[in-house]
Amino acid sequence: MSKILIVEDEEAIADLEKDYLELSGFEVEIEHRGDVGLKRALTEDFNLFILDLMLPEMDGFDICREIRAQKNTPIIMVSAKKDDIDKIRGLGLGADDYMTKPFSPSELVARVKAHLARYERLIGTGVQENDIVEIRGIKIDKTARRVWVNGEEKNFTTKEFDLLTFLAQNPNRVFTKDELFREIWDMESVGDIATVTVHIKKIREKIEFNTAKPQYIETIWGVGYRFKV
């Protein structure tokens, strides 16, 4: 099922869009803040984005630019002002479509379907793109299982890679060592939660500038770890 992210601060509009898209069989998530929307857009798998232009914390221009730097996922931009639409087109941010509010929800659904179909054709005819997670200088290619830190490739063992990827895909969430052990190591594996500590140390040596002051994987004393965004 195609999953769509709507970044829109007007709740009534976001809810209306969501209702219509869900009726058409899409899975829809809503974020009201621009910065939060961007974070999710970059770290989660969505098939299409609907971005409002004026948003709290970060506007649609910047979100569109940031998404395009990393993903080819279709983007539909919406704005209340016709002038803004002309401006976005002029900037060449790489959005796939533009709509001026108010628009009819069925028009939105039609365009969503068209862009998803076009994108699927594009993917289908070309080489499948690798699944990439990118956060503050760390780039993880999940398909090729390769990692770059500030452009330099680093080698990770299988479990180190799995642990780093899991944390990076769930940023700003604190996980206990127990949770991480259960998540990354299967039930039969020999070891205990100390294994997690050892692996975190190894990962930090590869990704952190100063392991004494980690900028990526933070230790939450008495609780566990989190990947900071």
Q: Which is closer to Ca ion, CB of 65 or CB of 146?
A: 65
- Tell the smallest beta-carbon distance from residue 80 to Ca ion (Å): 7
Tell me the two tokens of residue 117.
């179909």
* 58 binds Ca ion, rule: CB under 5 A: no
* 9 binds Ca ion, rule: CB under 5 A: yes
Q: Which is closer to Ca ion, CB of 55 or CB of 67?
A: 55
Q: Which is closer to Ca ion, CB of 101 or CB of 142?
A: 101
Cβ distance 17 to 108 under 8 Å? yes
* 59 binds Ca ion, rule: CB under 5 A: no
Q: Which is closer to Ca ion, CB of 6 or CB of 112?
A: 6
* Amino acid, single-letter form, for residue 179: E
Site string for Ca ion, 97-136 (x = CB under 5 A): ----------------------------------------
Q: Which is closer to Ca ion, CB of 57 or CB of 178?
A: 57
Cβ distance 196 to 177 under 8 Å? yes
Strand segments, DSSP code E, in 43-145 are 48-52, 75-79, 97-100, 132-135, 138-141
- Tell the smallest beta-carbon distance from residue 9 to Ca ion (Å): 4
* 52 binds Ca ion, rule: CB under 5 A: yes
Name 103's Cβ contacts closer than 8 Å, sequence gap at least 6: 78
* 54 binds Ca ion, rule: CB under 5 A: yes
Secondary structure letter of residue 130 according to DSSP: P
- Tell the smallest beta-carbon distance from residue 10 to Ca ion (Å): 6
Cβ distance 168 to 138 under 8 Å? yes
Cβ distance 180 to 128 under 8 Å? no
Tell me the two tokens of residue 62.
């910047």
Applying CB under 5 A, which residues contact Ca ion?
A: 9, 52, 54
